[in-house]
Chain A
Amino acid sequence: MINFGGVHSPEALPAPDTLVQVSRAFTPRVEAAAPTPVLLDLAGLGRAWPTPEALGQALLAAARERARAANVALAATRIAALVLARGREGLTVVPPGAEARAMAPMPLQLLDVAPGEAELLARFGLRTIGELQALPERGLAARLGESGPRLVRLARGEDPRPLVPSPPPESFEIVLDLEWPVLGLEPFAFLLQRVLDPLAESLRARGRLAAALEVELLLIDGRVQRRALRPAAPSALPRTWRTLLLLDLEAHPPGEAIRKIVVRAEPTPSRVTQFSLLDPAQPSPERLAHTLARLHEFTAAGRGGSLALLDSHRPGAFALRTFAPGPARPSPLDAAPPPRLALKAFRPPLEAEVALEDGAPVFVASAGIRGAVLDRAGPWRASGDWWDAAWSREEWDVALGSGLYRIFRDRLRGEWFVEGELD
């Protein structure tokens, strides 16, 4: 009985899963360790195609629509189907029991034996599968051990291995074609619920969360508006995604009526977190994502996030990162130092005119800051990055009548600046 089908394309495929997609249209039981060849389980297909030839022709026609040089072979064993699909052009249907004869003229490389064994067989002077079939099993076992008889059985088309179906690719995409175009966010919000609910359900069913969501809106004028959201934490809650999407679309309105909605989720494994009874409760990732989305005026413009000091001597070297607080590591209340003097920086530093006496500042004039220096400390000299964008400065802390300020002289340009107010 013909149970297996092999589909192979000697030419490059338009996409890695082309043959798998073609095969899945015939049966869900498809094994594909590589893009080609693909092995199909044909059991039960006799009802739709009365003869193996009819089934083979249908499979070949479907495969050649996607890959011009595709070959198809139908056989009773998996190794025969795979070898003949790779070795013969067009359609090959092997009657049960004729596998050895059909495979005999095929080159030995099509058997896909281990590299060491292939080299050994080549040194024996074997070129075709038929030459391997002709060798005595006992003699081969004496030379190759237990793999000898196995190779001979494979060459005869005897392959007891079962077909192991490859899992279907995970796709989390919902398409909603609208009968009537919708204009405005309010009716869109209602439709969004109809898309996000089944998407979240399919994610949950496979134990997945969505790390990112991609939305394509086909507009009535033919344009496609694409929006991609990647919140601080993955989520499978439709309410969370709906709010984030609506907030994003409020900031970037489509402008025209929407005709079609495509929502695609990027799956990620579910979060497994063991909370502690003793540590402070962690913020809900969903609520944090909501809050940051509402603050998009700041976060989208790179003006909101958590601070990170950079390992640099350059004054004011810091980076702003996405606010994603990790687990709390509480320290005792008295571990924090008492209040101390802080700088309120001017960005960029204010240009200043500074009068000097014996090399020390005695009068400072800048935008909104002007006065005689009542007291001072300094100078503090610092420099760095001479190998790149060099900087060198001389800092002073000066007390004016209006407050306490940090001023500095750029030693490379010879100009004075007010860096900030000490508060």
Chain B
Amino acid sequence: MRLLAVDTAKARKHNSEEKTKVIPTTKAALEELLRQRRLAPEAPPLRGERRLRPLSTGHAELDARLGGGLPRGRLSEAFGPASSGRTGLALAVLARVTGTGGLAAWVDPCDRLDPASAAAAGVHLDRLLWLRGATEAARAAPDATRAVAILLGSGLFDLVVLDLAAAASRELRLLPSTTWVRLQRNIESADAALLLLAAEHVAKGPGGVSLAFSPQGPRFEGRGAGRLLVSLRAEVRPGPLALRGAALELPATPWNEPRRHGGHGETGA
């Protein structure tokens, strides 16, 4: 016991000496971090504080505008007209989530997911749960929102995508007005992110992001039979009121890669 007391006293003296040396440097570093507005993300979490890493979209500019990506524990939305890049971006987030060992779910009431596109986007298919709606079912959207609530409540999934992009707007209007509030309440206690794909602005939870997609047209190159679809350009505004958007260019499957899994087709005419 005596030896321990001596050692403790020595350590305390040593620490106080260290502190006098370290404080000026630390203070300068803190002031520098404050000037760069980088203090909050770098600081350790406070007791009881849940700080969850956002889910990267794979697009550097968009990630920077969103503060790292899609926030977890929030309902986010990606909406826009046909061929505006919503699905391509959602699959890119999915690829990152499943690639880092997480689980994801794609709730697809209109049965529109293309497995080959998901594989080409880098999604680990064995870690993706796909729930397909029956196209003719009248209650596709209510069933899908109920499935999303179950998935969020399970706490197993890092990302749940609800694809309502092809749902008729009349059907979406028939959903109870509390649907999105209820889903937001479900997700608040979870570590997952919920991404809603839609043709128009449907819902946005507090703290979530609304990505407004505007198509800027496809880019074709070449002439005649050798003409190729190179990419699709779009602008993504983080929020309908954002003045400036991020330019997004989604490359098409290169001509020398198989357009389908398993092999090449014949050459073009």
Contact = CB atoms under 8 A, between A and B. Distances in A.
Contact of B129 (A306, A380, A422): A306
Interface string B153-193: 01110000000011000000000000000000000000000
B117 interface: yes
Contact of B112 (A288, A291, A295, A420): A420
A338 interface: yes
B125 A306 contact: yes
Task: Identify whether the interface residues of A are mostly helix, strand, loop, or mixed.
Answer: mixed
A340 B120 contact: yes
A295 B146 CA distance: 9
Interface string A218-230: 0000000000000
B66 interface: no
Interface string A370-396: 000001111111110000000000110
B87 A287 contact: no
B269 A381 contact: yes
B190 to A, nearest CB: 13
Interface string B36-62: 000000000000000000001111000
19 contacts: A305-B130, A306-B129, A307-B128, A309-B261, A318-B116, A325-B126, A339-B57, A339-B92, A340-B88, A340-B121, A341-B231, A341-B232, A342-B87, A342-B114, A342-B121, A344-B113, A345-B113, A403-B83, A422-B232
B130 A307 contact: yes
Contacts of A308: 125-126
Nearest 5 interchain pairs by C-beta: A382-B265, A328-B101, A403-B82, A280-B101, A403-B83
Task: Identify whether the interface residues of B are mostly helix, strand, loop, or mixed.
Answer: mixed
Given A280-B101, A339-B88, A342-B88, 6 more contacts: A291-B156, A310-B262, A330-B100, A336-B96, A340-B252, A341-B85
Contacts of A340: 88, 91-92, 120-121, 250-253
Interface of A: 279-280, 283-284, 287-288, 290-291, 294-295, 297-298, 301, 303-313, 315-318, 320, 323, 325-326, 328-331, 333, 335-347, 359, 375-383, 394-395, 397, 399, 402-405, 420-423
Given A280-B101, A306-B126, A399 B155 contact: no
B129 to A, nearest CB: 5
B203 interface: no
B133 A303 contact: yes
Interface size band for B: 35 or more
A405 B119 CA distance: 20
Given A340-B250, A379-B225, A313 B265 contact: yes
Nearest to A344: B112
A308 B130 CA distance: 11
A367 to B, nearest CB: 12
A421 B83 contact: yes
Nearest to B95: A336
B122 A298 contact: no
Interface string B82-114: 111111110110011001111100000001111
B129 A304 contact: yes
B266 interface: yes
Interface string B186-212: 000000000000000000000000000
